[in-house]
């Protein structure tokens, strides 16, 4: 009974801490430093893709690392608190929810894909490194598509799931991660569809892809600027 109570208390601590960790708005902070309101530019989401394509590529890369770290740290912190391995994924879910609905930004946030990758890398590093590599390659190949991030994450977890099932590696854990990834993707797609009819807003973008990666120019954008899709210039 005492052990069960300890686990419950540890879970409460882990989930609470993971939510606040995931709620740290790196995208908003980084964009504000550049003089941009991330919630009124590009996809209007506080996520890596929006910052990368509409604020600055180096800034977006830093946000990407920070958002991945949120998911990974939630896992490591939960493990340090003594959470059983089969329950640690719950802390990862809390971190993603914090990213979706940050208490620090009026319950606005990003799509949760980068924190999801952080959770996966922390839980199954060997499989996730391969999956993330294939996912990033997919994003580069589909860089002209507004659904590039969605396809990248989908391919990443399909690869992880297939390898896990074929070689009988961490099957239950990878299955749980794949289900979580599916929920993240579904929410991202639904959010994107709601933005299709959004009003025109200002987009800050990089105008010189080869020389000045932090040159923030102002252009007008409508629904086509979805998920941070650039109007000109490529990766």
- Residue 226 pLDDT grade (very low, low, confident, very high; cuts 50, 70, 90): very low
Q: What is the pLDDT of residues 173-203, one digit of tens each?
A: 999 999 999 999 999 888 888 776 554 444 4
pLDDT of residue 233: 37
Q: How many CA atoms lie within 13 A of 173 on its CB side?
A: 22
Residue-number span of the structural domain to which 34 is assigned: 2-209+217-224
Report the 3 state secondary structure along the chain: CHHHHHHHHHHHHHHHHHHHHHCCCHHHHHHHHCCCCHHHCCCCCCCHHHHHHHCCHHHHHHHHHHHHHHHHHHHHHHHHCCCCHHHHHHHHHHHHHHHHCEHHHCCECCCCHHHHHHHHHHHCHHHHHHHHHHHHHHHHHCCCCCCHHHHHHHHHHHHHHHHHHHHCCCHHHHHHHHHHHHHHHHHHHHHHHHHCCCCCEEEEEECCCCCCCCCEEEEEECCCCHHHCCCCCCC
Q: What is the pLDDT of residues 55-91, one digit of tens each?
A: 999 999 999 999 999 999 999 999 999 898 889 999 9
Q: How many CA atoms lie within 13 A of 6 on its CB side?
A: 7
The answer to whether position 177 is within a domain reads: yes
Q: What is the pLDDT of residues 19-41, one digit of tens each?
A: 999 999 999 999 999 999 999 99
pLDDT of residue 197: 59
Among 108, 136, 117, 29, residue whose Cα is nearest residue 65: 117
pLDDT of residue 112: 94
Domain count, the chain: 1
The answer to whether position 232 is within a domain reads: no
Q: Residue 223 pLDDT > 70, yes or no?
A: no
Mean pLDDT of the chain: 84
The answer to whether position 14 is within a domain reads: yes
């Amino acid at each position: 009974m005492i052990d069960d109570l300890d686990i419950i208390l540890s879970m409460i601590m882990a989930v609470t801490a993971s939510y606040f960790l995931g709620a740290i708005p790196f995208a908003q902070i980084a964009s504000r430093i550049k003089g941009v309101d991330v919630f009124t530019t590009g996809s209007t989401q506080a996520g890596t893709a929006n910052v990368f394509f509409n604020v600055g590529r180096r800034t977006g890369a830093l946000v990407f690392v920070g958002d991945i770290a949120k998911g990974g740290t939630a896992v490591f912190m939960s493990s340090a608190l003594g959470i059983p391995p089969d329950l640690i994924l719950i802390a990862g879910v809390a971190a993603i929810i914090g990213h979706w609905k940050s208490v620090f930004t009026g319950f606005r946030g990003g799509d949760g894909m980068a924190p999801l990758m952080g959770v996966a890398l922390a839980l199954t590093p060997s499989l996730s490194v391969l999956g993330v590599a294939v996912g990033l390659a997919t994003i580069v190949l589909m860089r002209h598509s507004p659904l590039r991030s969605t396809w990248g994450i989908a391919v990443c977890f399909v690869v992880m799931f297939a390898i896990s099932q074929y070689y009988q590696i961490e099957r239950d854990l990878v299955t749980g991660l794949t289900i979580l990834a599916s929920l993240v993707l579904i929410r991202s797609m639904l959010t994107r569809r709601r933005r299709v009819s959004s009003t025109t807003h200002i987009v800050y973008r990089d105008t010189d892809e080869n020389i000045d990666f932090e040159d923030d120019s102002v252009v007008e954008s409508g629904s086509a600027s979805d998920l941070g899709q650039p109007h000109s210039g490529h990766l």
